[in-house]
Chain A
Amino acid sequence: MIRPDVLRDLKGALGSGQLLLREVDRRTYSYDAYLDECLPDAIVFPTSSREVAQVIKIAQRHGLPFVPRGRGTNLSGGAVAVNGGLVIEMAHMDRILSLDLANEIVRVEAGVYNSQVTAAVDADGYFYAPDPASGKACSIGGNIAEGAGGPHCFKYGVTANHVRALSVVLPNGELIEFGGAVCDLPGYDLVGLFIGSEGTLGICTEASLAVLQKPEAIRTLLAVYQSIDRASETVSAIIAAGIIPATLEMMDNLVIQAVEDSFSAGFPRTAAAVLLIEVDGLPADVVQQSDEIKALCEAEGAAEVRVADSESERERLWRGRRGAFGAVSRLAPNYLVADGTVPRARLPEMLRRVGEIADRHKVRVGNVFHAGDGNLHPLILFDSTDSEETERALSASMDMLEACVELGGTVSGEHGIGTEKLDAMRLVFSDEETELQWRVKLCFDPENLCNPGKVLPRRTSPPTRVAARKGLRQRLCPAEAQEAERFAVPYLVSTGLATRQQLRPRSIDDVSAALGMAHDEGLALLPVGGGTRLGMGRPPDRTSLNLPLASLEAVLECDPENLVMHVEAGISISRAQHAARQAGRLLPLDSNEPYRATVGGALACNQQGPRRSRFGSVRDVVLGVGVVLPGGDYVRFGGQTMKNVAGLSLTKLFIGSLGTLAVIVDVWLRMLPASRSEAFVAIPVIDSLDAERVMTAVAARRLAPDLAELLSSESYEALSVRSTPSGVPHGAHAILLAFAGDEGSVSRRVAETMQLSDSTGRVRESALLEPLAGAQALVDEVASFRRWARGRGFGVQARVQVPPHSSAAYLSQVDQAAKRAGLELVSSTGLTSGVIQLALRGTEVPVSRFLSAARAYAEREGGALVLCDGWGSLKDPVDPWGMTGPQVDLMHQLKAVFDPSRVLNPGRYIDAI
């Protein structure tokens, strides 16, 4: 029961009706959709972020645990107050706060139902992609806490890929904003870390969600099988064929029967399994893809493939899929869901194992799951009043998770660890990895009061590090002189802080040894990939040795059937792209100077190229990383499965951290099917505002370019292309558009673009471009704007991020500012991503003034400006990062967790971290 002094404080902070203490309420808040039941002491209903903060401060003052709860649909026990205390129920914070459809963002309170988000933008032609089957009943706050997925996440990605910003009340009661109006703000990715942290790092009160334009056409297929094997082989075959449908769901007979008992969804009762496949996109692509899928299903032995013709038929099928869990509860009083994932090619094998495990434990199991993601959901049926049967169900569930891990997968794809899978954490994480997560958790929540008892298994004594360092110096030093020269940044050397000395590791073990040694001897290290980003940040604040990683350049695995590539971090982006291409796939990562820039460097600098609006940010491409911590331990987070919510999302933390937390040594990357056809079109424009008019017309016609880069005429003319018609009249700028996809849709989109008229009704002059050295080379040229600019003496370079819709207006502003200041400015602007590369000639004081103004413009739009090169040459240096605020304190604390003795990149990062 709650203590009187706590009660007094709570009553002081909350209105009547916002605090529940009676037994009927404590009982009904003792559970979520998993099995655990624990009584909370009280339930509070905050109505604002401020009230959440007040409640948390009271809890902290009295040492009372608190648990955030959305709509109680959690399948892993995450919303249960295992240590008692307060349940903070977010149901009363259920407002849609604002819609910004120009930038495709919706701001909501955490208690909003998932399905409400799509409902709010549906009439305007948008949707919110993550669609857990429980969407009608689960809250966005809960989705964020768990890193929720859903059927359409196969194509569109999970919650983590669709959240821009969060309001979070930290466990100390401080209200803080993570992220912002734009992607890829500088700083540690606290949004990424928070998503999937299961309410253990704080309570999300509001979120800015990215919504997408609804596809023009949708077609839903139902493939019917007489054998589960044939169905799961089809899943592998579809992915191997390089087709990415919007959904690829599978249900077995037991589930089909249960659903059909609930209502007639239209699944054939006698089928051993069905696949529910949806393709969406442009009408021509949809027809072609669904025909190909139909043929594949038939070739793999489908007894029948039905196409849902009407919207009502489609809705009926989906209602059946969404209700599958509920329907199965007709069959037994309880069920467990084993939420493991496997690499997709292992699906048939895993399903066989599920059957064997069920037989071994004599439990009934139904399967309904996201086959396309390799995310299984075996539903294990039992009656919790039968303790022996319960025991068997629990053992079967654990065996299934173990089997997933054995096949290269993980223990949770989207439901979270909660209390359910605490034991299973040991299957995927070493003691070091668990300890690191504990330290991050305690960095946010030193008293362990925020949703205690979840995600992280009981803490063991910190492991002691033993690293062999024998002969290390001989192995690592000295480097060849000219190589050292290559990485010696003149201004760093001139400050005397960076030496020309380096340790050159040739293996991951070497990196471990080097970091161990640096730690022991108090050295500072500057991890270097291709050396293309050494100008970022300030110089290190003490003498540092280079740690070039270019020798770690192996492709460890390229698995085209699973669309995953595992590489060492020092591999150049070009080589990684090449390996993907060899396998008939596409690596969705572009970069400035791809022949030099490394994959690890792209991660550390959070550097995505011009196709970002299609590929997503770096964090959307990375499935897992292996890093060496200062001290020498190798730890790994994430891996080769598409979905992974096991443990805290530390993977995200390393992206954009500029090597200040750990040294990235190997990376798992998502691949895409290779585009069958590509085409480039250029449209000259007079000024940047003109570009905005063109892009409005492009968006209205849903032409969905892969790349829409606004280039200064000089840099456009430098591209190696042949254009038809030649001699397009020159504008001051040119918009380069790239289209990729099936031939039919590419040629249709190109034709429409060539006929594009703007709001004045005038048809735009445009030219079809033929890349002289291939499509990738042309993209590389566009991506290498910075190198091109540097070659022409534009040595001060900055990257700006603004909301995409504001990018043209922003550019027009800085163009004028540069003119006024008498500076030469060239730029490359991602019109659909809002990423703007600025390059300036000159090092005078006006440059600094200009940069400060350009930063202020960006910040006014909710964006940011990061100085990428030339800081050392500025007469009157500006802060290269320009980031302040309470997040920076958290970043310092995180730095202290990972690198307490500041071995890595000391002083280079934000606020001289």
Chain B
Amino acid sequence: MTPSEIHWATAAQPSLPSLRGEAARCSRCGFCQPVCPIYRETGREAHVARGKNFLFRKIAEGSLPIEADFREAFDNCLLCRACTANCFPAVRTDALVLAFREMYGERWGRPLVQRLLFRKLLPHPALVRATLRATWRSGALGMTRAASRRGALGMLNPKLKMATQLAGDSPLPFLRERLQRMELRPKTTRVARVGYWLSCGYNYMLPEVGVDTIRVLTALGVEVVPLDNHCCGMPVLAYGDRAAAQMLARRNLSRVGRVPDLDYIVSECASCSGHLKDYGALLGGDDRCATSAGGFSERIRSFSELVVELGVQLPLRRLVRRVTYHDPCHMSARYQGVTEQPRNLIRSIPGVTFVELEESDSCCGAAGSYNVLHSDISTRILKRKAERIAQSEAEIVVTECPSCLMQLSLGARDHVANVTVIGISQLLAAALHS
């Protein structure tokens, strides 16, 4: 057997024998146990990579059927890859989880909600925008928040309660509208022309972060070109709907491909930047798109990666704060491997004391919608993260992912006194000479 060729962002589902081979590389040594954020909280074998590898192998060998009971194992995965990083044969359990989700969808059909969301709503940004705006305006979330304050919501549905807590204050107007009123040309000599990828998280939930991203970029001498993109498709792929993810990728390529002369495309969402870098692989088999996808992926940068790469010294004032950094999974060595750049940026601010966070690259438990669908376990994972944050005695926690930002803010609010969670561009913007 050769080292793994299994990767999750591939044009077609890997063959069953190759997936079986991947699962069979698991020696059941159990080294995944102490590093799996979910298993650490539940101690339950179905939640750790070894259990998933075992079940998948049995399913692939035909001795177990694909059935609903086993979803417990494959739904409970953050896709954080901590298991693989600590696995000597480096079993790609994340790819097996994805394959199970995909196979399960094929076998039993996808839930109506997923079908509507992934295939009907997400490909139409205008519709997404309208729906979400209507939701916010109607006060639906506001109402549920009021209910949650009375404690009624938790009794009704803990998932809804979690969702409203995460949502926070109204983001209206959305980032896209705010950008229309912003200066997007560089403040100094132009150093690059950069496409700005509007991540759903920042656009619809945390527009203030995006505003700061633009401020920092223009201060660096970047001409910012907001892109008219759809959802990148990462959540869709994570739910095992490869076809829908590929459709979104193709649409994005054709939209973005029309924008001329972009030196880079940047996103401050770790999941977006990570996934966009995988477009080439995801569409690998598609002749028409493969070339453009490859060229596209090469120009993708995460925010801190780009800022460091441009090498321009920001005009920063003194900011006396104790700051720590949480590595989003998709930024960590297990995905993009952008770990030094954000730390260097933080350290570059005069007056800042940077402290390392223990288990800084361990998943915070957000993982897209995991924190909503499995709020109980996610909250326990978050509590551990919050304890580490408290131990660091930092005043500010910085990260580079909207999902992590919302999750960590909630954790800080509930478990740590006097700590603020912000995006890295927010930190830099705060230190900018205005």
Chain A interface (Cβ < 8 Å from any Cβ of B): 20, 22-25, 27-29, 31-33, 45, 71-73, 89, 91-92, 94, 111, 113, 115, 134, 136-138, 259, 261-262, 323-335, 383, 385
Contact A330 B1 (CB under 8 A): yes
Contact A326 B88 (CB under 8 A): yes
Contact B58 A33 (CB under 8 A): no
Q: Given A262-B88, A330-B89, A331-B1, does the pair A137, B29 have CB atoms closer than 8 Å?
A: yes
Residues of A within 8 Å of B89, CB to CB, are 262, 326-327, 329-330
Residues of A within 8 Å of B55, CB to CB, are 24, 27-28
Interface residue B45 (Cβ < 8 Å from any Cβ of A): yes
Contact A28 B43 (CB under 8 A): no
Contact B31 A333 (CB under 8 A): no
Q: Given A24-B72, A329-B89, does the pair A29, B30 have CB atoms closer than 8 Å?
A: no
Q: Contact partner of B33 among A25, A28, A71, A328, CB < 8 A?
A: A71
Q: Given A27-B55, A31-B28, does the pair A113, B34 have CB atoms closer than 8 Å?
A: yes
Contact A25 B88 (CB under 8 A): no
Contact A24 B46 (CB under 8 A): yes
Residues of A within 8 Å of B61, CB to CB, are 385
- Interface-forming stretch among B19-27, B134-142, B421-429? B19-27
Residues of A within 8 Å of B50, CB to CB, are 72
In the complex, besides A27-B70, A45-B43, A330-B3, 11 extra interface pairs with C-beta distance below 8 angstroms are A24-B55, A24-B72, A25-B72, A27-B55, A33-B30, A92-B43, A115-B34, A137-B30, A137-B31, A329-B25, A333-B1
Q: Contact partner of A31 among B43, B54, B72, B73, CB < 8 A?
A: B54
Residues of B within 8 Å of A261, CB to CB, are 3
Chain A min CB distance to B204 (Å): 35
Place the interface of chain B in its size category: 20 to 34
Chain A min CB distance to B162 (Å): 18
Chain A min CB distance to B370 (Å): 18
Contact B73 A24 (CB under 8 A): yes
Contact B58 A330 (CB under 8 A): no
Contact A134 B24 (CB under 8 A): no
Residues of B within 8 Å of A29, CB to CB, are 45
Among all A-B residue pairs, the 4 with the closest Cβ atoms: A326-B88, A91-B43, A329-B27, A333-B24
Q: Given A137-B31, A261-B3, does the pair A28, B51 have CB atoms closer than 8 Å?
A: yes
Q: Contact partner of A27 among B33, B34, B64, CB < 8 A?
A: B64
Contact B43 A134 (CB under 8 A): no
Query: Within the assembled complex, what's the spacing in Å between the Cα atoms of A113 and B87?
Result: 17
Contact B88 A330 (CB under 8 A): yes
Contact A72 B43 (CB under 8 A): no
Contact A333 B33 (CB under 8 A): no
Q: Could you name 22 residue pairs across A and B whose Cβ atoms are closer than 8 Å?
A: A22-B69, A22-B72, A24-B73, A28-B44, A28-B54, A28-B73, A31-B28, A31-B54, A33-B27, A33-B29, A45-B43, A71-B30, A72-B45, A72-B50, A89-B43, A91-B43, A92-B43, A94-B43, A111-B43, A134-B29, A325-B29, A335-B27
Contact B30 A138 (CB under 8 A): yes
Query: Within the assembled complex, what's the spacing in Å between the Cα atoms of A25 and B48?
Result: 12
Residues of B within 8 Å of A33, CB to CB, are 27-30
Q: Identify which of residues 37-56 in chain B touch chain A, using a CB-to-CB cut-off of 8 Å.
A: 43-46, 50-51, 54-55
Chain B min CB distance to A419 (Å): 15
* Nearest-neighbor residue (CB-CB) of B47 within chain A: A28
Residues of B within 8 Å of A73, CB to CB, are 28-30
Q: Contact partner of B1 among A71, A327, A332, CB < 8 A?
A: A332
Q: Given A24-B69, A27-B54, A27-B64, does the pair A327, B30 have CB atoms closer than 8 Å?
A: no
Chain A min CB distance to B97 (Å): 14
Contact B30 A72 (CB under 8 A): yes
Q: Given A33-B30, A137-B34, does the pair A23, B69 have CB atoms closer than 8 Å?
A: yes
Query: Within the assembled complex, what's the spacing in Å between the Cα atoms of A254 and B183?
Result: 62
Chain B min CB distance to A316 (Å): 14
Interface residue B90 (Cβ < 8 Å from any Cβ of A): yes
Q: Contact partner of A326 among B24, B29, B34, CB < 8 A?
A: B29
Residues of B within 8 Å of A111, CB to CB, are 43
Residues of B within 8 Å of A330, CB to CB, are 1, 3, 25, 88-89
Chain B min CB distance to A610 (Å): 42
Chain A min CB distance to B44 (Å): 7
Chain A min CB distance to B193 (Å): 40
Chain A min CB distance to B38 (Å): 13
* Nearest-neighbor residue (CB-CB) of A115 within chain B: B34
Contact B26 A329 (CB under 8 A): yes
* Nearest-neighbor residue (CB-CB) of B26 within chain A: A329
Residues of B within 8 Å of A383, CB to CB, are 24
* Nearest-neighbor residue (CB-CB) of A29 within chain B: B45
Q: Which of B51, B55, B89 has the most CB of A within 10 A?
A: B89
Chain B min CB distance to A632 (Å): 46
Contact A25 B34 (CB under 8 A): no
Residues of A within 8 Å of B51, CB to CB, are 28
Chain B min CB distance to A261 (Å): 6
Query: Within the assembled complex, what's the spacing in Å between the Cα atoms of A259 and B90?
Result: 11
Contact B45 A28 (CB under 8 A): yes
Chain A min CB distance to B86 (Å): 8
* Nearest-neighbor residue (CB-CB) of A137 within chain B: B30
* Nearest-neighbor residue (CB-CB) of B87 within chain A: A326
Chain B min CB distance to A18 (Å): 10
Residues of A within 8 Å of B1, CB to CB, are 330-333
Chain A min CB distance to B88 (Å): 3
Chain B min CB distance to A87 (Å): 9
Residues of A within 8 Å of B54, CB to CB, are 27-28, 31
Query: Within the assembled complex, what's the spacing in Å between the Cα atoms of A385 and B43?
Result: 29
Query: Within the assembled complex, what's the spacing in Å between the Cα atoms of A32 and B30?
Result: 9
Contact B46 A28 (CB under 8 A): yes
Residues of A within 8 Å of B46, CB to CB, are 24-25, 28
Q: Given A137-B34, A330-B3, does the pair A25, B29 have CB atoms closer than 8 Å?
A: no
Q: Contact partner of B30 among A20, A24, A134, A333, CB < 8 A?
A: A134
Query: Within the assembled complex, what's the spacing in Å between the Cα atoms of A325 and B73?
Result: 25
Residues of B within 8 Å of A385, CB to CB, are 61
Query: Within the assembled complex, what's the spacing in Å between the Cα atoms of A134 and B50?
Result: 14
Q: Which of A33, A325, A326 has the most CB of B within 10 A?
A: A326
Chain B min CB distance to A539 (Å): 54
Q: Which of B1, B32, B44, B72 has the most CB of A within 10 A?
A: B44
Query: Within the assembled complex, what's the spacing in Å between the Cα atoms of A73 and B61?
Result: 23
Contact B45 A25 (CB under 8 A): yes
Q: Which of B25, B33, B61, B88 has the most CB of A within 10 A?
A: B88
Residues of B within 8 Å of A91, CB to CB, are 43-44
Query: Within the assembled complex, what's the spacing in Å between the Cα atoms of A111 and B72?
Result: 24
Q: Contact partner of A323 among B43, B69, B88, CB < 8 A?
A: B88
Query: Within the assembled complex, what's the spacing in Å between the Cα atoms of A324 and B61?
Result: 27
Query: Within the assembled complex, what's the spacing in Å between the Cα atoms of A29 and B46?
Result: 8
Contact A27 B58 (CB under 8 A): yes
Residues of B within 8 Å of A23, CB to CB, are 69-70
Contact A136 B45 (CB under 8 A): no
B72-93 CB mask vs A (1 if < 8 Å, else 0) is: 1100000000000001111000
Q: Which of B3, B33, B54, B55 has the most CB of A within 10 A?
A: B33
Query: Within the assembled complex, what's the spacing in Å between the Cα atoms of A71 and B33?
Result: 8
Chain A min CB distance to B59 (Å): 10
Query: Within the assembled complex, what's the spacing in Å between the Cα atoms of A383 and B21?
Result: 10
Chain B min CB distance to A216 (Å): 28
Chain A min CB distance to B3 (Å): 6
Q: Given A23-B69, A333-B24, does the pair A327, B34 have CB atoms closer than 8 Å?
A: no
